[in-house]
Amino acid sequence: MALNHFRRKSAIFAQKFVLKQRALIWILLLLLTAVAVWKLFMNKQQLDTKAELSRLQRAFVPVEVVQPQLETLANHLEADGIFLASKEMFVISETAGRVLETYKNKGEWLQEGEIIAKVDDELLRIELEATQANLAKLRKDRERLNNLIEGEAAPKNKIEDLELGILAAEAKEKGLKKQISNTSIKAPMTGTLGMRFIERGSVIGPGIQIGQMTNLEKLFLMVKVTERDVLNVKKGQLVSVRADVFPDMNIPGKVTNIGLRADNAFTYDVEIEVVNPKGNPLRGGMHAKAKFTFDANRQGYTLPRKVIAGSLQDPKVYVVQGDTMAVLRAITLGSVYGDKIEVSTGVQPSEKVVVTGQLNLVDGARVSVVK
């Protein structure tokens, strides 16, 4: 009986084990089938994409073209820029100690030399009094010694040591007076106290920035011009300036400095000085346009501004080669005249440049020129 029972249990266990194995095999087969189906689907998508690209490459994109035109360019130039303060500096401490009092607040207009804050100078004054007392004693000793020398009661070489001591004491007295003067922190220039970094009770040291002053009576407008235009700009040249916040107000300006080296974009800095209008005061960081007027006109090749594929900072155009292929090419711009641009390099006068249809193009695309 026991033996038969054991045999039945063994047969049932073996049957269950076989069923589990078959189930695992089916799961593996299903997983492998799913992976194969996914791989086939992805391959089909890639083939469809390649086929679509192939059809696009074989297609002809209709475009309109223009050729560079030789024109007499206007004798003026407009350049954008930003206003900067003509005078701006930090107020630097030349002494060390605790701030006893502050006399000026942020936003106040100060004249050069006005006291902004006072630093404790008690120890310096005590040392000055001691130095002055010692100096007075040395001078009396010199007077007595001179009387003795006149009566031939003392040798003349004794006076030399006293003279040297007096000179050293006088130098120390001057130094202490200068240090005491530095404890009165003064405005280094005429202007507005834009920032104040100390309060009563602050402890400062030499070289510490305690404030910042700005004078906006005059402003500098910093603009950038191309290498072609910078040759026409002259130092001292009068310029018409219009601030973006006051577009109807013409502000006279004068060129005060021209950059000697180009930046990474091959443009040159030009500095224009303007007097800040009292009725409509401007501030640093505001945008403006400067209009330069030159003595003579010049000629150059121009294209419509809309031929540019990209931006004015990195200008590129599509040039049609053989009437069937558009090639993307970088160009160098001269001046911008409203809806036209001056092309310095990158396009020959006889070449055709795509003016409409650039959005559908890539480098090397096949095109059909629309007459």
Residues 215-259 pLDDT 10s: 999 999 999 988 878 888 999 999 999 999 998 899 999 999 999
User: The domain 77-85+210-293: what is its CATH number?
Assistant: 2.40.30.170
Q: Which residues of the chain have pLDDT under 70?
A: 1-19, 48-59, 74, 151-157, 295-297
Domain parsing of the chain, residue ranges:
1-58, 61-73+299-369, 77-85+210-293, 121-182
Q: Any idea how long the chain is?
A: 371
Predicted pLDDT at 11: 65
Predicted pLDDT at 50: 65
Instruction: Report the relative pairing of strands 365-369 and 61-66 from DSSP bridges.
Output: parallel
Predicted pLDDT at 176: 94
CATH number of 121-182: 1.10.287, 3.30.2310, 3.30.70, 1.10.3470?
Answer: 1.10.287
User: The domain 61-73+299-369: what is its CATH number?
Assistant: 2.40.420.20
Distance from the first to the final alpha carbon of the chain: 105
CA–CA dist 358, 294 (Å, integer)? 36
pTM above 0.85, yes or no: no
Predicted pLDDT at 324: 87
Predicted pLDDT at 290: 92
Q: Are the C-beta atoms of residues 117 and 127 closer than 8 Å to each other? A: no
